[in-house]
Structure 1
């Protein structure tokens, strides 16, 4: 093997100027994805260098090493890098939906190859030194001053955490991020911290009317605290409850993962709490539905209110690639050691394989992606809301639609996410069987017209996705349409949904 320098792909010929807004956004989207591909390619070339460096080190130290195996891994990395580079060049000149979908598949392949080639020779507890036998890959593990144990920490983790901190637009001088193995692991890490550092027997925890069901289930079964659920998302009600109950902790989601997509006005709530609590209160915010949508100043803690933030990174933060689970917790930098200890002891860390699968991107490109997705969702909601075929069948829900009770709260966020929800006027139609029948009609029409759409749970993907969602709070299943990053197909998909609803209601 020989060393290969790689400075990263640059698109030599930028896409030509388009006159329409949709084409301009498509060009931006293509350039951003080309950059994600370039970053993946750079890492694949770096793996080739690392393998060569490892081989030379083992030879100098007279260690056993399988030359042929290293050669196979290096070849796999360079083949994947070539495929990634080729797709990036194609994408730059044809950033349409089909090419975009293919490029996303190639990016997933590139990251999976990266995780495989970099991880094949690594150990979860690499040796510090050795004689003849080899139990390490990364040379930095040799004579390391830290504990070589993956559950404690590992080098690749720091890259992901720095990227997520920048994604949230937080300064390393004031905040820190702990990457976890899933969104639920992120909640579990916060719960572990609260149980040991904040909550006392008999303390009250106040929640909004709805929390994501798994977090709500865990919180509600803690045996020695009293969990009180507010009756309304309205800040005045929440603050009245806080003044009366004086909770030790408050749990809220900016947007509830329910049919109505009710919101809590986070800026108003935090400001109001500082005026009514008599003892420092910890506010826990799950931002998964509006990833990086909170202005960073809202996560500032003081002597009245402490703010802990978490979200699942298996959705938006992973660019919808869905290659592995991940999560994050953001907190004041002074709590870094406390959270590191709890993550170590609970095993909730994002392990090495997951960090390699996590895409590399610049925070500005991530914010552009979220802005595109949110704009697509609002446009979809407005088109469906204005369609008489849709309105006769049921009600469209989106925080920015006229008549939504939380429009003021929506205005306080950078964006409101990519989901549009729908419920039928006739309650008998709000069943999983009815939704599945409708989805079959929608998917059939989408296939005939070349419009991208998938059916399944979750959100954050590049392509739109539809599902019969269940909020797990007793309400019937509802239609959740995640609109995705295919702006040029929004109008066509809206028309398809309208036609499918009309056909169903004939």
Structure 2
């Protein structure tokens, strides 16, 4: 029965049903053979569909699919992009969880993994054989390096799938598909959700690869819960507002930290001394809301500063409205060996700041008093 009222809800309804009911056998059978009909929430759900439409528009993509975490999104994207027994080229500067995925899990599935430094990626892409895939993290976590996506696209074999983790950039600062990526993946737990109250991941793209992502999501099962999907949809309503402010604040803090006598080195693409400063200016709308800085005293100095901070809370993750400080060597990258951390740009004295929406002077005052330790 059609509702005669001309109104509609201002927000997507949260459809908690795991299964959908039909009036007759023919309708049920038709839905079972059609990907566009809602039959079972592991396949599709109205709340997820509303969210995925918004994500696709943000990414400039034909299609987007949501799943239960950022690592689920990255796993699905890489498994979809890699042919059986294929080779994956990725960078050395990676988030610790992704490092474990490509070093421990993929080789066990029969994939070959090649790691290259950021400055060697174009050359490494040119040396790839057909049947390979490329994975990039733009910007990298936590060293904030920026891979030259267009140059890597041009150097690799024609048709080589490129998966870009653009979590740090967000669709506000980078739409990877417009620069040569085949699939764009995000930990939507971070900026897209924006409030530290959900776990989610998204993959965007088009064609056969996205169909493969859908198949993998359906068979492996990491579908996003409809209630979390609604919270993510709500977070996207304020994404640009939050990200623009967070990025502006992060750039101000990065410039001030770069001049602070207690800081040995500051990492953020906005800084003229950053190795990818010119590339970031071409590729990114902003260098992002994460920055990192190194203290000459190593772990002891980093711990001393972090423990004195009062506005920056200590914790993992990023992208929420509250500012966080983290020690990558002991948290996100602790599973790496010392040599692997060094190759990833993670020293014992490195602190990562995930900037929230607090006033810039409030955050700077906190950093100044912390650095007096």
TM-score (norm 1): 0.62
1:181 match: 68
Instruction: State how far apart, in whole Å, the 2-side matches of 1:268 and 1:254 are.
Output: 14
Deviation string for 1:341-373 (max 9, x for gaps)? 22111102212222123243667x533432221
Matched, 1:494 2:351: no
- Which residue of the partner structure matches residue 89 of structure 1? none
2:308 aligned residue: 441
CA contact (8 A) 1:464 1:482 kept: yes
> Is 1:250 paired with 2:131?
no
Equivalent residue for 2:150, pick from 267, 281, 286: 267
User: Residue 350 of structure 1 corresponds to which residue in structure 2?
Assistant: 224
Question: What is the CA–CA distance in structure 1 between the aligned matches of 2:163 and 2:150, rounded to whole Å?
Answer: 13
1:150 aligns with 2:24: no
Checking the alignment, whether the CA contact within 8 Å between 1:185 and 1:327 is kept in structure 2 is yes
**Mean Cα deviation higher: 463-472 or 150-159:** 463-472
* Partner residue of 2:78 out of 191, 194, 207: 191
**Alpha-carbon distance between aligned partners in 2 of 1:439 and 1:468, rounded to the nearest angstrom:** 8
What residue in structure 1 maps to residue 344 of structure 2?
none
Q: Deviations over 1:132-178 (max 9, x none)?
A: xxxxxxxxx9998346211111111111101111222x15xxx2111
* Partners of 2:190 and 2:320 within 8 A in 1: yes
Is the helix fraction higher in 1 or 2?
1
Counterpart in 2 of 1:360? Answer: 234
TM-score by length of 2: 0.82
Q: Which runs of 5+ in 2 are unaligned?
A: 32-36, 342-346
Inter-partner Cα distance in structure 2 for 1:372 and 1:256: 21
Could you tell me how far 1:384 is from its partner in structure 2? 2.0
Q: Which of 82, 91, 102 pairs up with 1:208?
A: 91
Counterpart position of 2:56: 165
Q: Give aligned pairs, total.
A: 345
Q: What does 1:93-104 correspond to in 2, within 5 Å? A: none
Secondary structure of the 1:241 match is helix
Aligned to 1:227: 113
| Residue equivalent to 1:341 | 215
Query: Which of 260, 280, 289 is residue 410 of structure 1 equivalent to?
Result: 280
Shift of 1:300: 4.9
> 2: distance between equivalents of 1:361 and 1:256?
23
Q: Tell whether the 8 Å contact from 1:125 to 1:150 is kept in structure 2 after alignment.
A: yes
* Bigger relative contact order, structure 1 or 2 (CA pairs below 8 A, ≥6 apart): 2
Aligned equivalent of 2:34: none
User: What is the CA–CA distance in structure 1 between the aligned matches of 2:6 and 2:351, rounded to whole Å?
Assistant: 47
- Secondary structure of 1:357's counterpart equals helix
Q: What is aligned with 1:101?
A: none
Task: Note the 1:8-157 alignment, pairs <5 A.
Answer: 42-43=10-11, 118=14, 122-128=16-22, 145=31, 146=37, 148-157=39-48
Contact 2:166 2:185 in 1 (8 A): yes
Aligned equivalent of 1:330, options 190, 204, 207: 204
Distance 2:243 2:285 in 1: 9
Whole-Å separation in 2 of the counterparts to 1:299 and 1:369: 23
Give 5+ residue unaligned stretches, structure 1.
9-38, 48-117, 131-140, 444-451
Q: 2:316 is matched with which residue?
A: 457
Deviation per CA, 1:198-243, whole angstroms, max 9, x where unpaired? 4243x3321112222222222223242321111x212xx2222222
Aligned with 1:380 (options 241, 253, 256): 253
Contact conserved, 1:129 with 1:143, CA < 8 A, in 2? no
**CA separation of 1:246/1:144 partners in 2, compared to 1, >3 Å: closer, same or farther?**
closer
Distance 1:350 1:493, change over 3 A: same
Q: What are the superposed Cα offsets for residues 215-273 of structure 1, whole Å, 9 maximum, x if unpaired?
A: 2222223242321111x212xx2222222343611111111112x32221223322343
Q: For 1:6 and 1:441, locate their aligned partners in 2 and report how far apart those are by CA, in whole Å.
A: 57
The answer to whether the aligner puts 1:423 opposite 2:294 as a matched pair is yes
